[in-house]
């Protein structure tokens, strides 16, 4: 590949810039649900550095979205081996176990992720663990975790009412706790405020996971349909990719730095990295 040919002649710091740019482009492809292309970029980044745990974990997430669970687990295992304190990789493996109904393994990972995360930012992992408890019909434990997740997310919401990821998280926590009306209000509120489609698609994926675990949940399906109907097209993200094409036809490291910096800034703007 052109990127790999270029990187072979670069200094280590410049090679790092190329590797990050490729991985970030893969991340963009994943947002666009162009999974084969995302995998190609993650493969390229990992080829440049077989210990690039961030790209390995991202590839694991992509495999999970493609329902290729053995490959997802293999990547998560490797990423966690390289960085045992990567809470999001640990939780990602836990979600894979949860979908596969390997509840004991899922709980081990969620407990570990919760222990690694600071108190104010562990609401997502409390929600994940609550789903495992619900699947095991351990209602008291599930409601305890959901109550704390809701409390933490509400505190974060009071600090920033336009943190759309947090607002969507709060909505799904209410939904899982069977507080249907507050859940609907938060989903409707975020949509009415013009949240970017990246956040909406992420919320849809969370609902997809929820419905994979609880396929007969009555309220989750129409809420997912509501979110899906709010998406017009992938045009804005396509335009993002067109603006930030990888500069593979030039060996100038500054182009790779600029690409990585621009793409990361764009993704940070929507809370993606």
Helices 87-99/53-65 angle, 10° precision: 20
Question: Judging by beta carbons within 10 Å of its beta carbon (0-12, 13-18, 19+), is residue 237 exposed, middle or buried?
Answer: buried
Place of tokens 């990719």: 241
Distance in angstroms (rounded) separating the CA atoms of residues 66 and 63? 5
Give, in degrees to the nearest 5, the angle at Cα 177 between 153 and 159: 10
Please state which of the ranges 27-41, 53-67, 72-86, 144-158 shows the lowest mean pLDDT.
27-41
Q: How far is it, in rounded angstroms, from Cα 68 to Cα 64?
A: 6
Joined together, the tokens standing for residue 254 give 């500054």
Contact status, residue 58 vs residue 26, Cβ threshold 8 Å: yes
Residue 223: which of 260, 270, 256, 190 has the closest Cα?
190
Measured CA to CA, the distance from residue 121 to residue 118 in angstroms comes to 6
98-112 tens-digit pLDDT: 999 999 999 999 999
Number of residues assigned to the chain: 273
Whether 73 has a pLDDT exceeding 50, the answer reads yes
Single pTM value for the model: 0.82
**Site of tokens 């390997």:** 102
**243 pLDDT exceeds 90?**
no
Measure the CA angle with vertex 257, ends 254 and 258; round to 5°. Answer: 85
* Predicted pLDDT at 121: 83
Per-residue pLDDT reduced to its tens digit, 18-38? 888 899 899 888 878 899 999
Give the CA distances from residue 238 to residues 87, 96, 178, 243, in Å, rounded to whole numbers and listed in that order: 30, 29, 37, 9
**Rounded Cα gap, residues 4 and 38, in angstroms:** 16
Mean pLDDT (the chain) is 85
User: What is the model's pLDDT at position 101?
Assistant: 96
pLDDT at 139 over 50: yes
């Amino acid at each position: 590949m052109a990127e790999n040919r270029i990187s072979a002649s670069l200094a280590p710091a410049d090679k790092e810039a190329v590797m990050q740019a490729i991985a970030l482009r893969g991340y963009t492809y994943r947002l666009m649900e162009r999974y084969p292309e995302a995998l190609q970029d993650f493969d390229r980044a990992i080829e440049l550095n077989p210990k690039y745990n961030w790209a390995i974990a991202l590839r694991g997430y992509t495999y999970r979205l493609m329902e290729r669970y053995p490959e997802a687990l293999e990547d998560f295992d490797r990423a966690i081996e390289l960085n045992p304190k990567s809470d999001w990789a640990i939780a990602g493996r836990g979600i894979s176990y949860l979908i596969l109904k390997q509840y004991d393994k899922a709980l081990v990972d969620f407990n570990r992720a919760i222990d690694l995360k600071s108190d104010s930012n562990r609401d997502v992992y409390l929600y994940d663990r609550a789903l495992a408890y619900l699947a095991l019909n351990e209602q008291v434990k599930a409601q305890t975790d959901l109550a704390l997740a809701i409390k933490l997310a509400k505190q974060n919401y009071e600090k920033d009412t336009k943190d759309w990821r947090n607002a969507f998280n709060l909505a799904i926590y209410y939904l899982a706790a069977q507080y249907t009306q507050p859940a609907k209000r938060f989903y409707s509120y975020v949509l009415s405020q013009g949240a970017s489609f990246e956040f909406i698609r992420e919320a849809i994926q969370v609902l997809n996971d929820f419905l994979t675990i609880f396929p007969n949940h009555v309220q989750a399906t129409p809420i997912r349909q509501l979110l899906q109907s709010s998406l017009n097209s992938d045009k804005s993200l396509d335009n993002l990719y067109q603006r930030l094409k990888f500069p593979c036809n030039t060996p100038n490291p500054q182009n790779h730095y600029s690409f990585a910096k621009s793409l990361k800034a764009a993704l940070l703007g929507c809370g993606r990295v």
